[in-house]
């Protein structure tokens, strides 16, 4: 039986402790990353939307790195948007810079009404590379 193992980046932010969740769970060779938002170290949101998206990707990269992964190992992505129609252009710009060339991971974008003070969240599943 595979046991789950919690994974946290070295500079974990306050939201993990405040809301009592793991940054990611490793199960076998899969890494299930909790939704990452554009939070600063103290848990506050970046005020400018594009900066919030960039910070969310930076937080995601830190969690992936803690498990020995990178964005190239991501196989499935779900993003949450509080105003998709007006945010999509900025998200697609940052996504193009972050995700890299094809083949691209699966991607599902969901419009939501609330993200605890944030406007964007990204959640992924990655395959952990074998050494």
pLDDT (tens place) for every residue of the chain, 131 residues total? 567 888 888 876 666 667 777 889 999 999 999 999 999 888 899 999 999 999 999 999 999 999 999 999 999 999 999 999 999 999 999 999 999 889 999 999 999 999 999 999 999 999 999 87
- What is the pLDDT at residue 13? 62
Q: Please provide the size of the chain in residues.
A: 131
What Cα–Cα distance (Å) separates residue 124 from each residue in 17, 56, 109?
Answer: 20, 12, 12
β-pairing, 74-81 vs 120-127, is: antiparallel
Residue 125, classed as helix, strand or coil, is: strand
pTM strictly above 0.85 = yes
- Domain encompassing residue 123: 5-127
- What is the pLDDT at residue 37? 95
- What is the pLDDT at residue 10? 82
CB atoms within 10 A of CB 74: 24
Domain tally for the chain?
1
CATH of the domain at 74: 3.30.1330.40
């Amino acid at each position: 039986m595979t046991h789950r193992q919690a994974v946290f980046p070295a500079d974990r932010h306050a939201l993990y402790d405040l809301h009592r969740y793991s940054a990611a769970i490793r199960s076998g060779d899969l890494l299930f990353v909790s939704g990452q938002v554009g939070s600063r170290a103290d848990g506050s949101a970046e005020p400018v939307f594009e900066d919030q998206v960039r910070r969310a990707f930076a937080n995601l990269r830190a969690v992936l790195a803690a498990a020995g992964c990178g964005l190239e190992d991501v196989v499935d992505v779900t993003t949450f948007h509080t105003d998709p129609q007006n945010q999509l252009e900025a998200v697609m710009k940052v996504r193009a810079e972050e995700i890299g060339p094809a083949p691209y991971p699966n991607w599902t974008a969901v419009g939501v009404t609330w993200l605890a003070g944030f406007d964007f969240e990204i959640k992924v599943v990655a395959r952990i590379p074998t050494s």
